[in-house]
Amino acid sequence: MYSDRINALPPYLFATIDEAKAKMRSKGVDVIDLGVGDPDQPTPAHIVDSMCQAVRDPSTHRYPSYTGMLDFRKAATDWCRQSRGLDLDPASETLTLIGSKEGVAHIPLAFINPGDVALCPDPAYPVYKIGTQFAGGEPHIMPLLEENGFLPDLDAIPNDVLGRSKLMFINYPNNPTSATADTKFFEEVVQFARENNIVVVHDNAYSEMTYDGYKAPSFLSVDGAKEVGIELFSLSKTYNMTGWRLGFAVGNKDMIAGFGKVKSNIDSGAFNAIQMAGITALSDSQQCVADMNSTYTERRNVLLKGLHEMGIDVKPPKATFYIWAPVPSGYDSIGFSKLLLENAGIVATPGVGFGKYGEGYIRFALTQTVERLSEAVDRMSKLDI
């Protein structure tokens, strides 16, 4: 009944987690969900108010532009200039996305022919591989190892693979490992892409979710980056707008044009009222972002302290709202996550769900209050681990 591409897919990780949560809740278990990275805090009120005003305007009810409202794209490029010093043309170097997941899934259709290779990190957001497979391409895994700071070893990619490679996904600050990359790494990526004629897609969804004075650099801030790639930004995590589905891509104008051609044939653009709320988010005070980061810093510290007291060695992440923790001796990632769910009512994501090289780790999302995180720590401390 189903196509080969559908039959070849494993169950989508987060849908599987949702099923496990529902099963435990049906048994009356008070589940503490530290699994999917969905902010628990509401979208800031000034953004919601902007949306309410926009949605009452009948002019927003018509089909939007395929490439996005120019005013939204201008707000996006202004934000990029103010926050990262980037000089971008809103008309030709910017594209509105219906969330960055949609962007990741559709980008391979613009650059991958059947049999071409896309270089995909592992562990990673599953859609890098899935989008490649949907385009008929072959994902080649770039292992992210702790000894390399969870950065890919570009020199380890075989020459025969490089000859077929057309696209490379990178993602820093990183999901799921919470690792960060410096400009030196991005410079190496630019040189690598030039030498091998590869399009680079930097998925920068966690760009603003940073702590302890750290500021995540933009891939496009490196000399030559705009010649070889594009960068995706998302309003989902930055402004607690996951359900609104809004983001944008910026970078090389020819790559943006090709990507836009895919989207114009697949979707009809983001709802204008949501884009108008996005303009408010990007253009108004960013105090809401600073407040959010303070909240997550407090939560991070509570969970880190508890894990350390249990003997689980975790380094404090400088970015994202994830804790990437090694599983205790004697467990694999699925076994440990199953123990947490069935014996403590805690949902955490097994590392192997993000790929082969995620085995041995588990991901906790900081999407519960300090009180609930403290309770989670208390429950875990009572387990025999």
Identify whether residues 365 and 375 lie together within a single domain.
Answer: yes
Q: What is the pLDDT of residue 257?
A: 98
Q: Over 80: is that where the pLDDT of 16 sits? A: no
Identify whether residues 27 and 127 lie together within a single domain.
Answer: no
Identify whether residues 206 and 345 lie together within a single domain.
Answer: no
Q: What is the pLDDT of residue 136?
A: 95
Total domains in the fold of the chain: 2
121 — phi, psi (to 5°)? -70, 160
> Would you call 325 helix, strand, or coil by DSSP?
strand
Identify whether residues 146 and 234 lie together within a single domain.
Answer: yes
Q: Over 90: is that where the pLDDT of 148 sits? A: yes
Q: Over 80: is that where the pLDDT of 17 sits? A: no
Report how far residue 339's alpha carbon sits from residue 362's, in angstroms, rounded to the nearest whole number.
12
Identify whether residues 130 and 197 lie together within a single domain.
Answer: yes
Q: The domain containing residue 58 runs over which residues? A: 45-285
Least confident of 11-15, 98-102, 115-119: 11-15
In the block, residue with structure tokens 């959010």 = 292
CATH number at residue 375: 3.90.1150.10
Name the pLDDT band for 47 (thresholds 50, 70, 90): very high
Supply the pTM of this predicted model. 0.95
Q: Over 80: is that where the pLDDT of 374 sits? A: yes
Identify whether residues 323 and 225 lie together within a single domain.
Answer: no
Percent of the chain with pLDDT over 70: 99
Identify whether residues 346 and 256 lie together within a single domain.
Answer: no
Q: What is the pLDDT of residue 21?
A: 80
List CB contacts of 127: < 8 A, sequence separation 6 or more.
101, 104, 105
In the block, residue with structure tokens 């000399």 = 223
Checking DSSP bridges between strand 117-122 and strand 322-326, what pairing results, if any? Answer: unpaired
Which whole number is the average pLDDT over 32-61?
96
Average pLDDT value over all residues in the chain: 95
Q: Which of 285, 317, 342 is the last residue of a domain?
A: 285
Helices (H), 100-251: 100-111, 127-134, 159-162, 183-196, 225-228, 235-238
Q: Which of 285, 304, 330 is the last residue of a domain?
A: 285
Q: Which of 234, 251, 285 is the last residue of a domain?
A: 285
Which whole number is the average pLDDT over 342-365?
95
Q: Over 90: is that where the pLDDT of 26 sits? A: no
Identify whether residues 53 and 196 lie together within a single domain.
Answer: yes
Identify whether residues 143 and 31 lie together within a single domain.
Answer: no
CATH number at residue 115: 3.40.640.10
Q: What is the pLDDT of residue 74?
A: 98
Model pLDDT for residues 313-343, shown as the tens digit of each residue: 899 999 999 999 999 999 999 999 999 999 9
Identify whether residues 156 and 274 lie together within a single domain.
Answer: yes
Identify whether residues 227 and 180 lie together within a single domain.
Answer: yes
Identify whether residues 197 and 83 lie together within a single domain.
Answer: yes
Q: Name the nearest CA neighbour of 328 among 302, 362, 366, 354.
A: 362
Name the pLDDT band for 27 (thresholds 50, 70, 90): confident
